[in-house]
Amino acid sequence: MKFLIKSATIVDPNSSFNGQVKDILIDKGQITQIDSVIEAKGAEVYDATGQFVSPGWMDMHVNFGDPGFETKEDLISGCAAAAAGGFTAVAIMPNTNPPMHSKAEIEYIKNRAKGNSVDVYPIGSLSVKREGVDIAELYDMTQSGAVAFSDGNKPVQNAGFMMRSLQYALAFNGLVISYPEDASIAEKAKVNEGITATYLGMKGIPNIAEELMIARDIFLAEYTGGKVHFTTVSTAGGVELIRAARKKGLPITADVAVHHLLLDDSVLMGFDSNYKVKPPLRSQNDIKALKDGLRDGTIDAVVSQHTPHEIEFKDQEFETSAYGISGLETAYAVFNMACEKVLAIEEMVDALAISPREILGLEVPVIELNKPANITVFDPDHQWMLSAENIRSKSKNTPFIGKDLKGKAMAIVNNGQMIIN
C-alpha cells in the first residue's frame, strides 16, 4: 500500500530534511521519496498542510489488562487508543494477572501484538509475582523481548532487593524502572499533602515519600553501577535530586506523566475520582519544577501513565475509587497545553519520540529516504473536544471528556499501515 503525506513540516533532528516542508511517499512500509512536490498514482493521500510530522511517538509507561484484566483493556483496544493518541509504540507495565514475570508472559505479549500498527514492548516484572521478594527471570525475559524491568505500580520497598536487582541487571545492561514511593510514609493517604488535603479533610501523601525513594535508588545506582529510570516523577525535590545525580554522571533517567504537568491538586475540590492518580496531583510549585526539569534535560520523557478501569472502579466515593486516568488519547493535548510556552516543538518531539527509545535501548525512527516509515502527523493548534463516544480505549475514566483541548495527533504511519484520526 502506498501513502503520500503532502506538505508537512518535518520535525526530526536526525533527518537531513529537518525543518523543511516536504511531501513524503511511503511504499510497502518504506520511505521511498521526499520532495517538494510528489505525484503518485494509486497512493492514499493525506494533506498535512500546516501540520507537522515527526518520528513516531513512544509512550514508555502504559497499563493494559492483557492477560487477566482484559475487561479494562486488551492489546487490540489498547493499541487502538495508542494510535488515536499518535503513538506508534508503547511499553507496557507488568500490572497483569499473571504478572509479566517470566519469558512465557513476555512471549505471549510479543506474539499477540504482532502485525499491529503500534509496536508493543513488554516491561518485565522485577520480582516474582511483583511481591518484591524474589528476583524474577530477568535475563530470560530480556532474551524473549522485555525492554526493562519494574514492579509497575508496586514500589520496591526493600533496599537490599533493589540493590541485588541492579547488580543482576548490570550483567546484561538491563534497565530497572523505579516507581518511587515509600509506602510506610504514604500509607493509605489518597491525595497530596497540602492545603487542598486540609480543606477536603483527607490525609495527604507528603513529597518526601517520593523523594526518599529517589534518593535511595540514586545511592544504589551509584554503588552498583546499575541503570535506574524513575517513572512519573511528581515533586520539586525529586527533580532536584535527579538533577544533582545526573551532574555527577550517574546512569539516571526520568519521565513525568503529562497530567502532572497540567493539573494541580486544587482540581480535587469537587471530589471527582477521575482526577485520582498516583503519584497524586501536586502543587503549582511542583509543576513549575517539573517543567524546568524537562527544559534543562533533567527529565527525559513524558508518558501518559495510561491506567484504564471499568466504570464500577471509578464511579464510587473518592476514598475507595481506583487510581488512574485513561490517558493515551489525550496525552499529547495535555502535554501541549501544559508546555507550549515552555518547550520548543523540537523539544516536545524529543520527549515524545526520541528519548523514550534511547532510554529503552531501541532504534530511533528517522524520516529519511529508504528508512522504515514510522511517523506521527500532528497539529499543535488543532482545537477539539473529547467525547465518550469517540474514545477508542475500552475504559473512559478520564477527566477530559467534554473539555476543550488544544493539539492533536492527526495520523500515524507504521508497519505498512496508516491510521487517520
pLDDT in tens, 117-160: 999 999 999 999 999 999 999 999 999 999 999 999 999 999 99
Q: Answer whether residue 1 shows pLDDT above 90.
A: no
Helix 236-247 × helix 208-224 angle, to 10°:
20
Arithmetic mean of pLDDT, 352-368: 98
Return the CATH architecture of domain 56-360. Answer: Alpha-Beta Barrel (3.20)
**CA 131 to chain CA centroid, nearest Å:** 24
Q: Please give the Cα distance from 294 to 339 (Å, whole number).
A: 9
- Fold equal for 2-52+370-393+404-420 and 56-360: no
Residue 233 has pLDDT above 90, yes or no: yes
Stated pTM of the model: 0.97
**Per-residue pLDDT averaged across 58-77, rounded?**
96
Confidence at 207, pLDDT banded by 50, 70, 90:
very high
- Domains of the chain, by residue range, sit at 2-52+370-393+404-420, 56-360
82 — pLDDT class (breaks 50, 70, 90): very high
CATH architecture of 2-52+370-393+404-420: Roll (2.30)
Q: How far apart are CA 300 and CA 346, in angstroms?
A: 13
Give pLDDT, residue 48. Answer: 98
Burial class of 164 by CB neighbour count within 10 A (0 to 12, 13 to 18, 19+) = middle
Instruction: Give the pLDDT of residue 2.
Output: 94
Q: What is the residue type of 266? A: S
Average pLDDT over residues 258-277: 97
Residue 36 near residue 6 (C-beta atoms within 8 A): no
